[in-house]
Structure 1
């Protein structure tokens, strides 16, 4: 075996064939290179065969040093003790030569599967991985809960697409989710891709989410770069509703309901003592009134807000293995049209069409109590029949122990 830099073709071929994260990709490498950011492709080969691959990001840290991070890497079987020892021993030496202060690795390794309420349904052996890496000086950072600016969320909400038809996926969702999806279809909610020149539409909705949840992470340029970086493997989509079309649907329903009411009322006039017919007529009268109210409200909304309402938008990235729902936003003024439900359903069907195994709703906090800060988000994702993929978490290896000790001490001040 030999530890070496990989060519982009060697790296891409390996990660395409082995389960890996979208950040461990040719696109991510090329994107960082285009921005003149430090990025490395390293791995292990035996002859011409690649056994391990890893994309590492580097950044200046603590004046004379560099900090290194591999997002959901390296890519290889972490239960292979000999390969773990070989890779991480040589990675340490490699990064020391590049003035490394410390390295953070975040392997794409599952610890537990949980149901949407946080109960463990399946566990995976990880103690051997932790023991082996800590023996090499890579200290496990523990099983964190919540969100942090220093690391990725450990709990991922994932929908298993394996061998499922669209109809089966819809049937397995919670009743409320399935009902809301069907209602968006009945209302005529639609989804389209936004062009590069239209990403500001996405960003406007994203900012609404930031304001609602009181956070601020990315600016418009970050999303433009992300879309450019991942190219054909990224989609920025938006759901919308044409109120002219919606009004036509409502008026068609109203016309049909009025016809039913007139017929029932005529029958009731001939049979005034027929209780079942009385109830039916009353229900139809109520339905007509509700539709009339909805038509009036929609007419007023069209007059105030225009013909087209932009409901929800998100950026998605996919690779050979899964599709990732990354950042999103929606307009709370239009919640009645449930644009987020329609968007998720359309993208789930897209992922299934690609033959992917997983639809990754991405991170949740891992706090499944009623006081959880993201309880609503977690329940929304759970409604699609998503399970929780609890990840192993981060490991940190000081590469210059004395400088790292001083760095940590100064960070606490």
Structure 2
């Protein structure tokens, strides 16, 4: 016998979600504080007074007093228990009617596939049966969408697991790139609000480089203050004084070597030294230029992550393109996950990747040998069937207009 309760406490909700196999930051009670332009509600489903399902619901106001519900990476429940699933859907629809919801969008943490990079597996038959059951209950499935932008949350993500995360497991080329970053003087620190100014500046540079709109300092500050010690920034920096001294020493040595080899008429060695001197001088000029801008420690790359239970989400990442040769982003992402695992986290989500596994997000994140996880995607639960059909027609029309521009 099931029953449900609306407005369960944040503590009860989070305790249940944190300890569930489908635990996800987006189903934490605090996420509603981040998405404060939406309303929110929490619902719990009980069997014999035992909490067996929960959903943190975001409620978006629509014109004429209507709303839509959105449950990112939820509801949290055992989707193989068909009676429970049917009761949860029924309960959500009842709550939706009270809020004049036209439809409820859910995005369950169900994997069609989960396989290492460059490996292929069959779709999970259990997940397929769960999708079939959801559609039999009248849910409208988005299907196997092909574009990253077709769903609110990415349908494909790159996940790192603590049990398999070792530097020696990475490809030789990637291990060398990480060593190169360290040898070039890139250092890593972990912090909180004291790093948010530099983090926001790196994000702004990333926006300019990619011609996209991300977030601002106020939003990053909200994430850090809302989640407190569950949140952290990983920052890669370069000590300019130290780097300038190292470059000057290397330049002097190469110039002395060139003078020595010039007398020996070793043309091959001479050409290599001339190229090395040119590279060192260019790098030294760049460091001197950075110093004239008042910098002593130069931020190169950074990430912002939040831990929830035994899970972690790498939410935002930025870099300074002018110093790409230092390999700081790769070192930063590697250390970001390692820091989470050092704190007892089981897995860290590196974020979404292109559905066809061919774009820049995939190319970069795949370097760290993640598990590529394919989610089933979104389902809509019609609450007002007539208005739902009209809303979907309007949505499809708007999407077609966007695709023409």
Task: State whether TM-score is above 0.5.
Answer: yes
Quote the RMSD (CA, aligned, Å). Answer: 2.8
CA distance in 2, matches of 1:210, 1:36: 23
Instruction: Confirm or deny that 1:7 pairs with 2:4.
Output: no
Change (3 A) 1:136 1:40: same
Partner of 2:184: 187
Partner of 1:18: 20
| Structure 2 runs not aligned, ≥5 long | 399-405
Change (3 A) 1:261 1:292: closer
Partner of 1:27: 30
Aligned 1:119-268 pairs, distance under 5 A: 119-121=119-121, 123-125=123-125, 126-148=127-149, 150-162=151-163, 164=165, 169-193=166-190, 195-196=192-193, 198-250=195-247
Deviation of 1:299 after TM superposition, in Å, equals 2.8
Partner of 1:90: 91
Partner of 1:274: none
- Aligned with 1:336: secondary structure? helix
Tell me if structure 2 keeps the 8 A contact 1:73–1:105: yes
Change (3 A) 1:359 1:256: farther
Tell me if structure 2 keeps the 8 A contact 1:55–1:70: yes
Deviation of 1:289 after TM superposition, in Å, equals 4.8
Tell me if structure 1 keeps the 8 A contact 2:38–2:61: no
Change (3 A) 1:80 1:134: same
Instruction: Confirm or deny that 1:320 pairs with 2:305.
Output: no
- Aligned with 2:95: secondary structure? helix
- Aligned with 1:235: secondary structure? strand
CA distance in 2, matches of 1:205, 1:182: 23
Tell me if structure 2 keeps the 8 A contact 1:243–1:298: no
Write out per-residue CA displacement over residues 323-368 of structure 1, whole angstroms, 9 at most, x where no aligned residue: 2222222111111111101211211220221222222111001113
What's the TM-score, normalizing by structure 1? Answer: 0.84
Partner of 2:341: 352
Write out per-residue CA displacement over residues 367-387 of structure 1, whole angstroms, 9 at most, x where no aligned residue: 134xxxxx2321211111112
CA distance in 1, matches of 2:357, 2:31: 33
- Aligned with 1:56: secondary structure? strand
Tell me if structure 1 keeps the 8 A contact 2:254–2:277: no
